[in-house]
Amino acid sequence: MHSDLILGTTLAAAALAYVFKPKKPKTELEASSVTVPVIPTYLPLQLDGVLHYILTTLSGKDEMEFLRNITNRFGNTINFRGFNRDFIIVLDPSSIQHILAKNQPNYEKGPELQAIFHEFLGSGIFNADGETWKTQRQIARPHFQTSEFKDAALINRHVDLLIKAIDKQMAANPGKPIEVQSIFCRFTLDEATEFLFGETVHALKEENSEFATSFNYAQAITAWRFRVPLWRYLLPKKRLLKEIKNLEEFVYKIIDNAMAREKVRVEEKERTPGSEKEEKGKGHATLLDHFLAEQEEHNFTREYLRDMLLNFLLAGRDTTASLLTWTMWHLSQRPDVVDKLKKEILDVVGPTAVPGYDDIKKLKYQKQVVNEVLRLCPPVPFNIRQSVEEDVLPNGYYIPPGTPVSYSAYSTHRLPDLWGEDALEFNPDRWGPERVGSIKPFMFVPFHAGPRICLGQNLAYTTAQVTLTRLLQHYDIKASPGFQPQNLGDIVLFSRNGVEVLIEKKSIAA
CB 88 within 8 A of CB 406: yes
**Residue among 52, 30, 31 nearest 40 (CA):** 52
SS3 504: strand
Q: Which residues contact 13 (CB under 8 A, 6 or more apart)?
A: 83, 229, 230
In sequence order, the β-bridge partners of residue 479 are 501
Distances (CA, A) of 98 to 32, 76, 126, 169, 176: 19, 15, 20, 48, 49
Q: How far is CA 115 from the centre of its chain?
A: 19
47, 174, 181, 417, 475 from 502: Cα distances, Å: 44, 10, 13, 36, 10
Neighbours of 122 (CB within 10 A): 19
454 annotated as a binding-site residue: yes
- Give the C-alpha separation, 71 to 406, whole Å: 12
SS (H, E, C) 472-483: HHHEEEEECCCC
Nearest to 214 by CA among 310, 149, 143, 294: 310
Closest CA to 418 of 406, 403, 408: 408
Distance between start and end Cα atoms, the chain:
51
Binding residues: 454
Binding residues for heme: 454
